[in-house]
Amino acid sequence: MGAWAEAAQVCIFDMQRGQQEGHELDKILFFSPTDCPLPSQLSVIGLSEGLITFTRIFSPEAPCQLMQAEQHCHIFLNCEPDIWMVMVVEKAKEVEEEVRAAALEAVLKEAHELFVMFYGSIRALLHKHPAGDVARSCLHAFMPDYFADFLTGKKLQLPSIGDGLTERGTMQPVSLERDTVLHAQSLVGLLESCFGGGIVRHTLILFHGYLVSSTLPVGDTAALFSYAALRLTPAAIALSSSLHSAHKGQSTMQSPASRAEPTIPSTSPLGQDTTHPEEGVKSQFPRPLRQDAWWKDKDGFLATDAWGADNNGVHPTIWLQQSEEQVHLCVYQYRALTLLLLIPALLNGSNSLDTFTLLKEQLLDEAAQKIEKLEERLSKEWVGSNASHVPGYRYLCCDRSSKTATASPPSKVSTLSKESLSALNQVRAEIDFEKGRVERQASEQDPELEVCLRTKQNAWVIVRVRGGHELYTVQERASDTLVLASDAVEKLNKRHFHGQFSSD
Amino acid sequence: MGKTQASTSAQGGAVLGGSGATSHVYIQYPPLRCDIPGAAGVMYDDGNKLLLVPAPSKVYSWPANQHPPPETPGVTNIKEGPILGVRFSLDCKILAVQRTNREIEFINRENGTGFSQQCKSGTDRIFGFFWTDCPSCDIVFVTTSGLELYALHQGRNSLKFLDIKKANVSWYVYTHESRLVLLASGMQCKTLAGYQFAAGGIIRLPKYDVMMAKADANRKPVLAPEDIRIATMYGRLYCLQVDRVALCIHMYRFYRDAVVPQGSLPIYSPHVAISVVDNVLLIHQTDSKVVLLYDILSDTKVPTSAPLPLLLRGGPLSSDSSIRSTEKDKKRVLMNREATIYGDGWVFVNPDFVLDHLHGLLWRLRLDLEAVAASTSNLPVLLAFLQRRRHEAAKAKELSLMVMRSMILERRPLTVIGTAMDVLTSSYAQGARPPNGTGGSSFQPTQFTKPLASTIAGITLSAGPRAGGPSSLTATPGVQSAVVMSSSGAASLRLPQDTEDSGDSEDDQVQASAPLRPEQGLATEDVLECTSDQGITGSPEIEEESPTSVSHDLSSESSGRLEVQNSSSMEPSVSSSPSLSGLQGIRMGIAAPLISPEEMQRRVFMSVEEETVVDTIFLVSVIVEYMRSAAREHVRVPPGLQAFVVKLLARDERFNELHQFIAGKLVEPSRAVALQLVEVGTHHTPTRKLGMEMLRLLHAHSDYVKLLLQDGRMLEGLRYIRRNKVDSVPPVMFLQAAASVNDAQKLAAVFRFCLDFIPGFQQTPDFITYSSRLNQQCTVGDGDTW
């Protein structure tokens, strides 16, 4: 129901299951919209599976990424061995260019990444509970919350060509003075050496929605950062708190989560305790992406009930991809500064509560002053969200290896004309394709590409890819010649990116 | 006694051969012995650091600051006669001998000639005299009516009277170290006026009254010279006044134009003595025979360490046995006496000598830094203390390094380690900022050099033989340096005559101090009872720096010395020469236990890492703390240390953090770091790229190009060479590389490059080699290589 049900379908299935005739339903782990009749579900999955099997003949490693049909477009993501996520997007009626597939694929990737962070991999869940019920419940608990963020009113806002100068899953670094970085790092050292070390395993420091420091590997940092940006920034907390109090005040009314329900129907309307088959599901399967999951306690720590009904007893836990370790998440917020502390779950048991209380006390005792000082420094240095703006350019520069991206602020990007954006979208699609090809060749060298494109409106779209870094620029200066536009990009490169895009 | 920290002390023992006995202050055996038969006493000439022993017709002299002490003294012949005081001129060429209350005899040691000088007015008595290196006069007589300034005539055969500074003088105190003379006047002798004979000229300090507690309402206490001590610490001048009634020591600090009370230190019995060793204030509680250490630069007014006894070290037997016997000592009857700590004859001479005039011994007090280190639990404070030591800078430095290392090995809280790092870096920054030349050995040497250059002065004696008389009074003050606050309360320099009888001398001095007063009789008691009614507790803190700085400026001229204290009134100045504060001293190139970032890297971080006890995460945090404190003091962190951080992070595969460190410039770009990145990036491509990128940005062309070659990116390398005009890598290397990969196309491209851009390439043997090779390949490969 709702607009989005028509606009997109998302399904997750396991090709290892339901191999025998009559058991096809067993393949389906998740399907949205949930009220879609089973035969249609099966037909979508059947088609996908067929395509995958067929294309695998030619390309065993990367079978199938995208299928364009007349009215729909299928995006495939092989998120885990034999487990696929497929998104079926209806093409817009107007003759508008559709967004490049990679942008949609990034949404699926992010969803999967977050899911794995909270529940562990789907395969592991299936392994532990071969019946598949747990995996299904988890997916049903998580996905609707995730997609609820794409709703504006009742409309699903999937990435569009307007987002051409963004890159999902990357972090925008803040450029700080060395002194400030030293202070941040010194704080990290202090926190991680508490209790003789080992208690605080990892630390992330965020300032507003920006990453200041992280001791996690890149992948984990990116995943946790995405989550923090969605739910833990001061802004998100403010929103969540207001929802929370509203929720508390009128518990008989719709829970905030159920607002998502009309648009993301699931097998059982999500978050509706009354209709959910298992009453206990709410506490059994955490819903970390619930919009009112977190609120701030008086001591500055953030508290949540998304991992269980009991606020005090259950600490949020997440899985780290790289170390495959389960850790507790403890969040402290001081003004715009958010500290994410990860504490090994092994310390669990009866002591964990004490550990937490102790840790919190120690944190307040020893680090509070440092935290305040750091916040002060950061606030002083903070130039606002327009810091990354470079007059005359609209750009995106991303570094895949560290998953960071610097880009013109959205408000500036929105001044670009539709044509420019569409051209950019096209070029990016080409580049994605080209990059994919180079990657498949398993060449040791990074692709080195440069594309200059003049649009009908005389804007220039110039892309440079070099050494694992990508720079996308759009300049809307009608009078510029190729030489001028190219020089301008060179200038941008030299001034802001250390000349790393110059080919020597 | 004292709480010891097991680890630290253990370490100390291991590394430095710790001293075993529990004491923070010790005297080192053997002492300087000066048992000259028939000697008329022992005197200490602080201007030249000489121990002088006048005998009837000779004056024997020993340099006091040599260890082991010289056996044979210098000898100067003099005429027979009474001797009240002796001092060599600062160049040691003229010996001045005070013969009577009115007359001083001068003997030129070079030619044996001599002359005498009487004081100006017939009614005055000379209390004493001292030589100075101040430009306006050479010698100063202190008389009952003030200071008489004289200069030597050219021929050095007579004195020229220059000036008189009028003042009523009951007694005086002078130390050459401070160049400061304090003149006591008034009924209670508690008004002190001071003059500093600094290299920049004579400075008159403001008069001030000390505070004394009254023992009872009817008796007014009288200040005795042994209650006043001029102490020079860190180039600052202090007057320490022992208030034996109130049981405290009042501190006053001299500025050019003010005397500022600095608070009081408690004492636990009226019997105390004061020394200054290496800028540390020692308060000897002679009753209980323990010493308390105070470091005036530490924030607290509490002793640096727990009270421990003074020990004799290095004796033939173990240091703590009080009786030692060896053949060496057997010849000495005084064996046991030598071992007597705080014996009756002990006089504490400024700054750090102990003169045992009963036995003719001179001891020098020393600090046992290891023991202090072992018994201090507040490590940052300890480090600050160690960093301020100059006498044994090398040892202090070793100890500092050791403390730092053990803090890390023991995983002390990071905040504590951070504070400790701050201490080390800030002292390094202060010491190292002005590039300093060679290191002298310590303050002391500096002081010496100057004085020595000038003249050798004689030692002033305390009371003369006729102590009872007014003359003795004079003598006493003169000796101030030698005068002591001895336990007995009496000053202790001995008169020439009564070598053994300190008691007498005490009386003499006492009387001396109050010579003109009615209360003379009371002397001893009064003195002891003096207390400050006013209770100069003063503001505990050192107040301002501004006065200081002024004085420093002045003093800078005379760079050498720490200086003056005044007891009497205000104004002492730190002026002239003295002003070298400890820290300034460092700048002057005096050896100091500074620890450079390179040493931190090598001696602390790397050596800790070798022990493999500490996990790298913690070690990295510690280094980050160091970087933070270095940044605060604007001290450069050596690239080697930064590369070390890179190595540590990479070892734990914390590549993401590594990237953040680089992105945040926490690890600053440098060739060492870049090469380290390339090295650790062997198995982590992004890191390798980061290193290469850094090389490129650093314009380390040849490194960069070689790495490109290594990666087989020849064309890119050639383009780079051409664009950046790199000539350190010959393009021929590319030819070899291209040939070795067996890629004709690449070889051809490189060849073409050489042909086009290397002038005269066609004449080189390479051209022939590779062109023929290419031709071959072209024919074989059907040759569309071009």
Residues of A whose CB is below 8 A from B714: none
**What average pLDDT does this structure show over B47-76?**
83
**What average pLDDT does this structure show over B385-398?**
89
Domain extent listing, chain B: 6-369+449-556, 701-780
Q: What is the pLDDT of residue B198?
A: 86
Of A178, A188, A218, the CB nearest to B656: A218
Least confident of B21-25, B131-135, B678-682: B21-25
Q: Which two tokens stand for residue A12?
A: 């997750």
- Is the pLDDT at B36 greater than 60, yes or no? yes
**Confidence tier at A375 by pLDDT (50, 70, 90):** very high
Q: What is the pLDDT of residue A339?
A: 93
Least confident of A90-99, A239-248, A335-344, B515-524: B515-524
Dist CA B578 CA B555 (whole Å): 6
- Is the pLDDT at B462 greater than 80, yes or no? no
Report the share of chain A in percent with pLDDT over 90: 41
All residues at 6 or more sequence positions from B669 whose CB lies less than 8 Å from its CB, including other chains: B662, B694, B697, B698
Task: Please say whether the beta carbons of B224 and B513 come within 8 A.
Answer: yes
Residues of A whose CB is below 8 A from B625: 186, 189
Least confident of A32-41, A489-498, B507-516, B704-713: B507-516
Q: What is the pLDDT of residue A247?
A: 62
Q: What is the pLDDT of residue A140?
A: 92
- Around Cβ A224, how many Cβ atoms within 10 Å? 25
Q: Mean pLDDT score of chain A, rounded to an integer?
A: 83
Beta strand spans in B286-409 (E)? 290-294, 308-313, 346-349, 353-356, 361-367
One DSSP character per residue, B436-450 reads ----BS-HHHHHHHH
Q: What is the pLDDT of residue A50?
A: 93
Phi, psi of A327 (to 5 degrees): -130, 155
Residue ranges of domains in chain A, CATH in brackets: 2-159 (3.30.450.70), 178-251+282-381 (3.30.450.30), 386-496 (3.30.450)
**CA distances for A146 relative to A226, A227, B316, angstroms:** 12, 10, 84
Residues of A whose CB is below 8 A from B657: 214-215
- Around Cβ A308, how many Cβ atoms within 10 Å? 17
Contact across the interface for A498 and B621, Cβ inside 8 Å: no
- Is the pLDDT at A303 greater than 80, yes or no? yes
What SS3 state is found at B262? strand
Q: What is the pLDDT of residue B336?
A: 60
- Is the pLDDT at A479 greater than 90, yes or no? no
**What average pLDDT does this structure show over B7-18?**
36
Q: Which two tokens stand for residue A51?
A: 């395509």
Q: Does B654 touch chain A (CB under 8 A)?
A: yes
Radius of gyration of chain A measured on its C-alpha atoms:
24
Reference B183, options B462, B568, B695; nearest CA is B568
Report the share of chain B in percent with pLDDT over 90: 19
Q: What is the pLDDT of residue A187?
A: 92
Q: What is the pLDDT of residue A49?
A: 93
Q: Mean pLDDT score of chain B, rounded to an integer?
A: 74
Q: For the purposes of burial, counting CB atoms within 10 Å of the CB of B356, is it exposed (0-12), middle (13-18) or buried (19 or more)?
A: buried
- Is the pLDDT at B534 greater than 50, yes or no? no
- Is the pLDDT at B744 greater than 60, yes or no? yes
CA neighbours within 13 Å on the CB side: how many for B657?
27
- Is the pLDDT at A353 greater than 70, yes or no? no
**What average pLDDT does this structure show over B580-607?**
71
- Is the pLDDT at A113 greater than 90, yes or no? yes
**What average pLDDT does this structure show over B449-469?**
31
DSSP state at residue B604 = I
pLDDT tens, position by position, A51-76: 999 999 998 888 888 998 888 889 99
DSSP state at residue B568 = B
pLDDT tens, position by position, B117-129: 888 877 888 999 9
Reference B1, options B17, B32, B24; nearest CA is B24
Residue of B nearest to A503 (CA): B716
Please indicate whether residue A342 or residue B445 has the higher confidence score (pLDDT): A342
> Within A263-345, where are the H helices?
281-284
- Is the pLDDT at A493 greater than 60, yes or no? yes
Contact across the interface for A217 and B656, Cβ inside 8 Å: yes
Phi, psi of B196 (to 5 degrees): -115, 125
Task: Write out the H or E segment, with its range, that includes residue B625.
Answer: helix B616-632
Task: Please say whether the beta carbons of A407 and A395 come within 8 A.
Answer: yes
Radius of gyration of chain B measured on its C-alpha atoms:
35
**What average pLDDT does this structure show over A296-319?**
78
- Is the pLDDT at B370 greater than 50, yes or no? yes
Dist CA B710 CA B703 (whole Å): 10
Residues of B whose CB is below 8 A from A214: 656-657, 660
Task: Please say whether the beta carbons of B12 and B374 come within 8 A.
Answer: yes
Dist CA A209 CA A141 (whole Å): 26
Instruction: Report the side by side order of strands in the sheet with A66-68.
Output: A28-32, A8-14, A83-90, A72-80, A66-68
Dist CA B384 CA B392 (whole Å): 15
Dist CA B785 CA A210 (whole Å): 52
Of A189, A402, A499, the CB nearest to B624: A189
**What average pLDDT does this structure show over B112-119?**
85
pLDDT tens, position by position, B637-695: 999 999 999 999 999 889 999 999 998 899 999 999 999 999 999 988 889 988 998 99
Least confident of A420-424, B270-274, B292-296, B561-565: B561-565
Q: What is the pLDDT of residue B300?
A: 64
All residues at 6 or more sequence positions from B84 whose CB lies less than 8 Å from its CB, including other chains: B98, B99, B100, B101, B461, B464, B465, B471, B472, B474, B475, B496
pLDDT tens, position by position, B314-328: 765 443 344 444 444
- Is the pLDDT at A328 greater than 70, yes or no? yes
Of B414, B668, B696, the CB nearest to A189: B414
What SS3 state is found at B705? helix
Of B618, B666, B716, the CB nearest to A504: B716
- Is the pLDDT at A83 greater than 90, yes or no? yes
**Confidence tier at A491 by pLDDT (50, 70, 90):** very high
Q: Locate tokens 């899953």: which residue?
A: A169
Q: What is the pLDDT of residue A4?
A: 42
One DSSP character per residue, A267-304 reads SS-TT-TTTSS-TTHHHHS--TT-TT-EEE-TTSBEEE
Of A181, A193, A500, the CB nearest to B664: A181
Q: What is the pLDDT of residue B661?
A: 92
**Confidence tier at B68 by pLDDT (50, 70, 90):** confident
- Is the pLDDT at B181 greater than 60, yes or no? yes
CA distance A339 to chain B (A): 16
Contact across the interface for B618 and A179, Cβ inside 8 Å: no
Q: What is the pLDDT of residue A263?
A: 35
Please indicate whether residue A275 or residue A142 has the higher confidence score (pLDDT): A142
Q: Locate tokens 């250059």: which residue?
A: B453
* Chain A / chain B CB contacts < 8 angstroms: 94
DSSP state at residue B251 = E
Most confident of A408-417, A439-448, B764-773: A408-417
Q: Which two tokens stand for residue B421?
A: 């790092």
- Is the pLDDT at B397 greater than 70, yes or no? yes
- Rounded to the nearest 10 degrees, what angle do helices A178-192 and B616-632 cross at? 140
Reference B259, options B173, B194, B199, B167; nearest CA is B194
Q: What is the pLDDT of residue B71?
A: 76
DSSP state at residue A386 = G
- Total residue length of chain B: 786
Of A193, A366, A500, the CB nearest to B618: A193
Task: Please count the helices (runs of H) and the strands (runs of E) in chain B.
Answer: 25, 30
Task: Please say whether the beta carbons of B226 and B240 come within 8 A.
Answer: no
- Is the pLDDT at B568 greater than 90, yes or no? no
- Angle, CA of A37, A43 and A47, to the nearest 5°: 155
CATH H superfamily, domain B6-369+449-556:
YVTN repeat-like/Quinoprotein amine dehydrogenase (2.130.10.10)
**What average pLDDT does this structure show over B274-283?**
90
Q: Which two tokens stand for residue B376?
A: 């201090």
**Confidence tier at A376 by pLDDT (50, 70, 90):** very high
Contact across the interface for B414 and A498, Cβ inside 8 Å: no
pLDDT tens, position by position, A125-165: 999 999 999 999 999 999 999 988 888 777 778 888 888 89
Instruction: Report the side by side order of strands in the sheet with B259-266.
Output: B228-233, B236-243, B248-254, B259-266
What SS3 state is found at B775? helix
DSSP state at residue B215 = S
Residues of A whose CB is below 8 A from B659: 218, 402
**Confidence tier at B187 by pLDDT (50, 70, 90):** confident
Dist CA A405 CA B393 (whole Å): 52
Reference A293, options A275, A316, A312, A277; nearest CA is A316
**Confidence tier at A312 by pLDDT (50, 70, 90):** low
- Is the pLDDT at B303 greater than 60, yes or no? yes
CA distance B706 to chain A (A): 15
Residues of A whose CB is below 8 A from B656: 214-218, 221, 402
**Confidence tier at B546 by pLDDT (50, 70, 90):** very low
